[in-house]
Structure 1
Amino acid sequence: MLIDSHVNLHAPQFADDQAEVIARARAAGIELMVTICDKVSSFEAVHAIAMAHDDIFATVGTHPHEAKENPSLSADTLCDLAARPKVVGIGECGLDFHYDLSPRDVQAQVFRAHAEAARRTGLPLVVHTREADDVMGQILEEEYARGPFRLLMHCYTSGADLARRAAALGAWFSVSGIATFKAAGDVRAIIADMPAERIILETDCPYLAPVPMRGRRNEPAFLPHILAALAQIRGWSLAETEARTEDAFFALFDRIPRPAVARS
């Protein structure tokens, strides 16, 4: 089973052909997708996509770029929305000190609210981190000390030290099209050292199209290229990579019923 753990189907890039994009994903063998909430004000649109399709699930959260939209966002609000049907994760949330589109203190405050919501709901925390390794590691460790929660380091491109700190907390990691980029040797080195039982796949579409589609709008249908890259990095067969990432996905997103599919 191929599963795209991180799509942004409500993005404006898909406004004109969302149905066709979903159909192409299915034709390419993508059997499940998780469409990601980038800000709480977008949640209704994100949730509607999940409710309209049996094979699509949703998250609720606010990306660090959008944290300024609601600096006082509470865990209560996130928990209330997370109680809706087909909501399976908290986020995408975190820290982005590269663009700093929201003040850093606001990013941290909003991120901590998400961590509390993950702890209270039992849903996995979908974490975005960029150029914030030390602060991210500190917040994750502090929040985890208050009570454990599951976390996913989405589209991981940060350093090896943060990867080790997150792995020590039991984190899962998702591999994106960046793994196929010629200049991403450092990323591939970290992927080679990730916990084998906690790696999943994502496209992060419409962003980060893998080689050989780089430069185009990304789609879930391109996920097999990422599967192949992960297989090469880890020295696994395609079938083993598919099976491992499927097992890891359902261990993390355990609110999603696992279809009874016979493997060949």
Structure 2
Amino acid sequence: MLVDSHCHLDFEDFAAERDAVIDRARAAGVGTMLTIGTKLSEFDQVRAIAEAYPDIWCSVGIHPHEAETEADIDAAGLVALARHPRVVGIGECGLDFFYDHSPRDRQEAVFRVHADAARRTGLPLIVHSRDADDEMIRVLQEESHGGALKGVLHCFSSGRLLAEEAVKLGFYISFSGILTFKKAEELREIARDLPADRLLVETDAPYLAPIPHRGKRNEPAFVASTAAKLAGIRGLSVAEVEALTTENFFRLFDRAQRPVPAA
């Protein structure tokens, strides 16, 4: 069984055929999906998807792109939303200094609110980081000193130092279709060297479809291509990577329940 640890099934890209997309994922061996919150103003739609499908879970959070435009919320507000039994993580949140759609100080402030909520709930923090390695290391270190904090750096495409420092702090690293891209050799070297018990795979669908699907709209079924690439990088069988990343997912996202095998 595979897990797509990060996708966006509420996005308009899937509205016309969401059931078919989910069916294709299941047919490809994807037994669990985590659909991610990026705006509190649209959290109801994210939660409704997780409520409708037993093998789909969700998170609640504010993407750094939305940090300026989303209504102010404190950690207590996030904690309240996270009480829903289908919510298994806090985020997606973090720092994006590539696009800078929100002011950097605002991104950091909102990120720290999410870290506080993650500590209060015991749920993992789902972290987006782009072109902000030094700042991300600093914030993660400071927030981890404030109390137990666990989480994942999703769709990892940053440098080795950030990956290693995050692992030291107890975080997991999730790889997307970028791992299959021709120019991603440095990323593949990082994926080869990280501890096996900290690896996850994801699609970030509808974005970043892996080879051989690159150029298409991504969807959870395509996580199989990323897992196969990771297997080759690590010198493992595909079945071993499937088992490894699935075990890692349920260890980190421990509120999520494993699917019940068909009779």
Task: State the distance in 2 between where 1:158 and 1:223 align.
Answer: 20
Task: State the distance in 1 between where 2:260 and 2:91 align.
Answer: 28
Cα offset for 1:260? Answer: 5.6
**Alignment-mate amino acid for residue 139 of structure 1:** V
Report sequence identity in percent: 55
- The alignment status of 1:66 with 2:70, answered yes or no, reads no
Task: State the distance in 2 between where 1:261 and 1:200 align.
Answer: 22
SS of equivalent to 2:6: strand
CA contact (8 A) 1:71 1:110 kept: no
How do residues 1-264 of structure 1 correspond to structure 2 at under 5 angstroms? 1-70=1-70, 72-259=72-259
SS of equivalent to 2:162: helix
SS of equivalent to 1:15: helix
CA contact (8 A) 1:34 1:59 kept: yes
Q: CA RMSD in A?
A: 1.2
**Alignment-mate amino acid for residue 207 of structure 1:** Y
SS of equivalent to 1:182: coil
Q: Which runs of 5+ in 2 are unaligned?
A: none
SS of equivalent to 1:231: helix
SS of equivalent to 1:16: helix
CA contact (8 A) 2:64 2:93 kept: yes
Note the alpha carbon deviations across 1:196-249, whole angstroms, 9 max, x for none. 111111011000000010000001111111110000111111111111111101
Cα offset for 1:261? Answer: 5.0
Task: State the distance in 1 between where 2:194 and 2:70 align.
Answer: 34
SS of equivalent to 1:34: strand
Of the structure 1 ranges 141-150 and 16-25, higher mean CA displacement relative to structure 2 is found in 16-25
CA contact (8 A) 2:94 2:111 kept: yes
CA contact (8 A) 1:62 1:91 kept: yes
* TM-score using structure 2 length: 0.97
SS of equivalent to 1:217: coil
**Alignment-mate amino acid for residue 10 of structure 1:** D
Task: State the distance in 2 between where 1:128 and 1:20 align.
Answer: 28
Note the alpha carbon deviations across 1:138-161, whole angstroms, 9 max, x for none. 000000001011110101111111
CA contact (8 A) 1:201 1:245 kept: yes
Note the alpha carbon deviations across 1:38-67, whole angstroms, 9 max, x for none. 111110000000000111000000000011
* TM-score using structure 1 length: 0.97
Task: State the distance in 2 between where 1:137 and 1:152 align.
Answer: 13
CA contact (8 A) 2:227 2:238 kept: yes
Cα offset for 1:72? Answer: 3.1
**Alignment-mate amino acid for residue 100 of structure 1:** D
Cα gap change, 1:71/1:186 in structure 2, threshold over 3 Å: closer, same or farther? farther
Task: State the distance in 1 between where 2:30 and 2:165 align.
Answer: 31
**Alignment-mate amino acid for residue 79 of structure 1:** V
**Alignment-mate amino acid for residue 252 of structure 2:** L
Task: State the distance in 1 between where 2:52 and 2:163 align.
Answer: 36
